[in-house]
Structure 1
Amino acid sequence: MKFLKPTILSLALLAFVSGCNDKDFLDVQPIGALSDEQLNTPANIEKQVIAAYSSLGNDVYRAPYTSMWPYGNVRGGDAYKGGNGTADVDAFHFYETFTFNRVDVGNTDELWFLIYIGVSRCNDALRRLDAVDAAAMPTKAVRQGEVRFLRGHYYFLLKELFKRVPYIDQTVPADQYGTISNVALTNDELWTKIADDFRFAVANLPDTQPEIGRANKSAAQAYLAKTLLYQAYVQGDNHAVTSIDQAKLNEVVTLTNQVAASGKYGLHADYATNFLTAGDNGTESVFAIQFSRNDGTPKGRTDRGNSLNYPMNPDYGCCGFHQPSQNLVNAYKTDAQGLPLFTTFNNSDLSTPADFQNNTVDPRLDHTVAIPSHPYKYLPTFVFETSWLRDPNTYGVYMSMKENVLPSDPSFQKTPPFMSSSKNWAIIRYADVLLWKAEALIELGRQSEALPIINQIRQRAAASTTRLKNAGGGNTSNYRIGQYSSAGWSQQYAREALRFERRLEFAMEGFRFFDLTRWGVAAGTLNTYFDREKTKRLYLQTARFTQGRDEYLPIPINQINFSKGLYKQNPGW
């Protein structure tokens, strides 16, 4: 660091001041900046819309919100934090154990801040879109639909993470932000605000967009269905589910039928295609975050939210986070009919190589979990080994695969010390649309109509073994997966099957914890999980889910302080 001697600096300032008697020299246009008015042209408004899209993937490894893996998978019992012990990104350890979580965790505050940047970009674009003449900007209504879709997405994330958040739209002047409380709207009213954004998008978006990555009408219908499904499970102040809104469930069925009727979507023939770069924007992708590399930017627009989650072998190098739990691995066991073991799957562990041959398993296991001695990411000669693990004594021997790519994949990019790729990350897969419909039908007492939908998902899984081969050409594990029979298909059994199917189909994709919270079963499910897992993972000895508190993250204390106490803390915190 360089310093100027005070005498020299004082003389220079004196000479500058004495030589400037006219203040007009201060009135100059800034170079390299645009005024607010200059941004109101159609061309610049289009750029503001792109900025709102850009926030979809603007997360960072310590506060990711693309895959939501620390909040959906780690908190949901599908994954251990991983990494180099419990102190490595310790906020994720606090989330996982619940007992150590606090209101002053900086990562939680950063997560809130980053998602609200997305909201802010949407509001800025909408304010300009609302004012521009449609004659000057023929795309006005479509772009309004896109941005309200995006704002709905950002608020949906905030809602499922924090429950009660301040709702600010483009009509609120910036100097009034500090007057809006996070409890100004009821839980139900906030869901309705989010749904209203998606309803507007449905009404204004085209069936097909000329550019890949832009939201279309079907994507808006799907996201509206998801929002209404969450809203249908009415929660009290203590987060307990008090009732299920049948009217909203019926609308979920209507909306998912409309997505199907568009004819644009279907299940990939092979489950693997969803998690390969070659599958980007394929038939199962209803809406996805578009990443890129070699795009003129210094490091590309790659997936930074998952950058901690690669193995520690020489081909990658960092950082060993997001490790599937033993409970999740065990959940893929099947019985003699190829059906899940709802109540007994966790009585014994799949751990040795022989266990994966002596027991039958759902093929989706080897699409989801990297297992020692099994090929990694469908390459028979690239075999996952325990030496690739960072801290197996703490977190076990499995790694996540869905978010990762092979080192030879054209989307792969090292951003030292982290790994990344430009592979898309799906926000909505068509499989999700199908299972939302099945869930709504079951809760409406129409479980017989849900049966073929769930079996459709399972049939695809059964057909997805082509890539699951070892170097000798044999199956990596002993696969057996069957379909459910109509015999004994009661509402309760169908509900259990649906919930188990969601876990198997979407494991490690960021949804598990939010499913458990929506259904009102998080406390019972997770405390049962901890009771068994603490015998295998010593760091979970004190882990415990507190009902009525841990369903949601605390409102960050920084945000409460910034609001001068206007924001109210969530119950129990």
Structure 2
Amino acid sequence: MLFGCSEDFLDRPAQGNLDATTLSNQSGVEGNLIAAYSYLDGQASSGGIVSATSNWVFGSVASDDAYKGSEPGDNQTSTDIEMYQWSASSADGGMNEKWSGHYDAISRVNATINLLLTVEGISQADQDRIRGEALFLRAFYHFELWKTFVNIPYYTEVDVDFRKTNVGVDPLPLILADIDAAINLLPLEQGAVGRVDEWTAKAFKGKVQVYAEDWAGALITLGDVVGAGPYSLEDNYHYVFDALRNNGPETVLAYQASVNDGSSGGQNGNHPDRLNFPHGGSPFGCCGLHQASQNLVNAHKVDVNGLPFLDGTWNDADVVIGDAVDPRLDWTVGRDDVPFLDWGLHAPG
């Protein structure tokens, strides 16, 4: 006796995946959008330290603001980038983290936009808000990639062939176009903390214009943000770093980290930037990454008017106790014989 089965026996839904039908409602669209937001810290994986959106490796360590820190054998990727060893496999892997992580985020953004187009029953106001948030995030992630790699392809929701060239592509006009579209769609304020609104998009537009060296345009955009926007300086500089005062009046866009939420290894707890506690004998025990450089300290020198030196002389000699400095210096580093926050005098050595 022979037994058989039809060919559709082999066609089974992939386990652990959600299909479009499951997501075809407002909750599914909102969930997709939150998944796109989740990349604001960088790549949410144990190997995502180098891809942090703070750019502490590609920005601070690769310039003169900071040293990698920790120990020589720790985090070889950052060491190679700090020493400009671009051909080293670890440096190449770090660049791949940045590249793939942010394009993964862009893929989530475009999936959200396409899903939104198929779902009925969402109010026009919510449709505009969701699309505006998605367009902002798409611009943001492309901008992050452009800052690091310059020559990048730009992906939108209509792309089906992902083998796009980066030759002759100027992403800045495309980034600005997405931001302008977002500004027209976003509400002036959001009901949920962490979501972008119209003012977030306007402030970000001004930043992109600065990078594009559109000084006149940036002056207009940022003048509007400063003059009419909802932002202001904290009454006390300490409040900027007070965990009990998150999302204060200076906050334009802040990644909303979470802890004790069941994620493995604290992946949602701002993972790429979490290893910068003082090294060794500190109460934290680890890990001393992203340490301020002497160059950064010297850059805090000020003239008799309390303004920074712009003539290049700021780094001619290291800061000593008698030098006039920006008071924010001692919120940033510990200096010998100067009180460090509420830990008392910073001991020499």
1:271 to 237, 240, 243: 237
Equivalence for 1:346: 315
Report the Cα distance in structure 2 between the residues aligned to 1:20 and 1:58, rounded to whole angstroms: 53
Report the Cα distance in structure 1 between the residues aligned to 2:195 and 2:239, rounded to whole angstroms: 21
| Code of the aligned partner of 2:274 | S
Structure 1 position 253 matched with structure 2 position 215: no
1:133 CA displacement: 3.9
**Does structure 1 retain, via aligned residues, the 8 Å contact 2:199–2:229?**
no
Equivalence for 1:49: 33
Equivalence for 1:360: 324
Alpha carbons of structure 1 residues 25 and 116: separation in structure 2 relative to 1, 3 Å: closer
1:62-101 counterparts in 2 under 5 A?
Answer: 62-85=49-72, 87-98=73-84, 100-101=85-86
1:121 CA displacement: 0.7
| Code of the aligned partner of 2:301 | K
**Does structure 1 retain, via aligned residues, the 8 Å contact 2:51–2:97?**
no
| Code of the aligned partner of 2:188 | D
The farther-off stretch of 316-325 and 364-373 is 364-373
Report the Cα distance in structure 1 between the residues aligned to 2:229 and 2:153, rounded to whole angstroms: 38
Equivalence for 1:262: 228
Equivalence for 2:293: 325
For these two proteins, the number of residue pairs brought into alignment is: 340
Alpha carbons of structure 1 residues 343 and 143: separation in structure 2 relative to 1, 3 Å: same
Deviations 1:103-154 (A, max 9, x none): 7521111111111111111111111123334656651111000011011110
Structure 1 position 310 matched with structure 2 position 269: no
State TM-score, norm by structure 2: 0.88
Alpha carbons of structure 1 residues 324 and 200: separation in structure 2 relative to 1, 3 Å: same
1:269 aligns to what SS in structure 2? coil
1:275 CA displacement: 2.3
Report the Cα distance in structure 2 between the residues aligned to 1:25 and 1:339, rounded to whole angstroms: 74
Alpha carbons of structure 1 residues 147 and 348: separation in structure 2 relative to 1, 3 Å: same
Structure 1 position 191 matched with structure 2 position 172: yes
**Does structure 1 retain, via aligned residues, the 8 Å contact 2:300–2:329?**
yes
Alpha carbons of structure 1 residues 165 and 138: separation in structure 2 relative to 1, 3 Å: same
Alpha carbons of structure 1 residues 361 and 132: separation in structure 2 relative to 1, 3 Å: same
Alpha carbons of structure 1 residues 385 and 107: separation in structure 2 relative to 1, 3 Å: farther
**Does structure 2 retain, via aligned residues, the 8 Å contact 1:222–1:256?**
yes
1:229 aligns to what SS in structure 2? helix
Alpha carbons of structure 1 residues 118 and 19: separation in structure 2 relative to 1, 3 Å: farther
Alpha carbons of structure 1 residues 372 and 113: separation in structure 2 relative to 1, 3 Å: farther
Equivalence for 2:186: 205
**Does structure 2 retain, via aligned residues, the 8 Å contact 1:42–1:137?**
no
Equivalence for 1:280: 246
2:68 aligns to what SS in structure 1? strand
Report the Cα distance in structure 2 between the residues aligned to 1:71 and 1:160, rounded to whole angstroms: 10
Report the Cα distance in structure 1 between the residues aligned to 2:333 and 2:189, rounded to whole angstroms: 35
Report the Cα distance in structure 2 between the residues aligned to 1:343 and 1:26, rounded to whole angstroms: 69
Report the Cα distance in structure 2 between the residues aligned to 1:311 and 1:151, rounded to whole angstroms: 35
Alpha carbons of structure 1 residues 33 and 158: separation in structure 2 relative to 1, 3 Å: closer
Report the Cα distance in structure 2 between the residues aligned to 1:373 and 1:296, rounded to whole angstroms: 43
**Does structure 2 retain, via aligned residues, the 8 Å contact 1:61–1:308?**
no
| Code of the aligned partner of 2:218 | V
- Structure with the greater relative contact order (CA < 8 A, sep ≥ 6): 1 or 2? 1
2:191 aligns to what SS in structure 1? coil
1:127 to 94, 114, 118: 114
Equivalence for 1:177: 162
1:226 aligns to what SS in structure 2? helix
Deviations 1:289-339 (A, max 9, x none): 111123354554211111221112341111112121112212223344434
**Does structure 2 retain, via aligned residues, the 8 Å contact 1:74–1:81?**
yes
Report the Cα distance in structure 1 between the residues aligned to 2:260 and 2:193, rounded to whole angstroms: 18
| Code of the aligned partner of 2:194 | G
Bigger Cα Rg: 1
**Does structure 1 retain, via aligned residues, the 8 Å contact 2:53–2:144?**
no
2:333 to 349, 357, 369: 369
Alpha carbons of structure 1 residues 347 and 258: separation in structure 2 relative to 1, 3 Å: closer
| Code of the aligned partner of 1:318 | C
Alpha carbons of structure 1 residues 255 and 96: separation in structure 2 relative to 1, 3 Å: same
Could you tell me which runs of 5 or more consecutive residues in structure 2 were left unpaired when the two chains were aligned: none
1:183 CA displacement: 1.4
Equivalence for 1:22: 5
Report the Cα distance in structure 2 between the residues aligned to 1:79 and 1:370, rounded to whole angstroms: 14
Deviations 1:415-465 (A, max 9, x none): xxxxxxxxxxxxxxxxxxxxxxxxxxxxxxxxxxxxxxxxxxxxxxxxxxx
Equivalence for 1:35: 19
1:257 CA displacement: 2.4
Equivalence for 1:379: 342
Report the Cα distance in structure 2 between the residues aligned to 1:325 and 1:58, rounded to whole angstroms: 24
1:276 CA displacement: 2.3
Equivalence for 1:554: none
Report the Cα distance in structure 1 between the residues aligned to 2:324 and 2:105, rounded to whole angstroms: 45
- CA-based RMSD of the aligned residues comes to 2.5
Structure 1 position 116 matched with structure 2 position 103: yes
Equivalence for 2:128: 141
1:25 CA displacement: 4.8
1:558-573 counterparts in 2 under 5 A?
Answer: none
1:81 aligns to what SS in structure 2? strand
Deviations 1:353-377 (A, max 9, x none): xx32x2222201101113345444x
Equivalence for 1:214: 195
**Does structure 2 retain, via aligned residues, the 8 Å contact 1:61–1:307?**
no
Report the Cα distance in structure 2 between the residues aligned to 1:137 and 1:32, rounded to whole angstroms: 32
**Does structure 2 retain, via aligned residues, the 8 Å contact 1:62–1:89?**
no
Structure 1 position 294 matched with structure 2 position 257: no
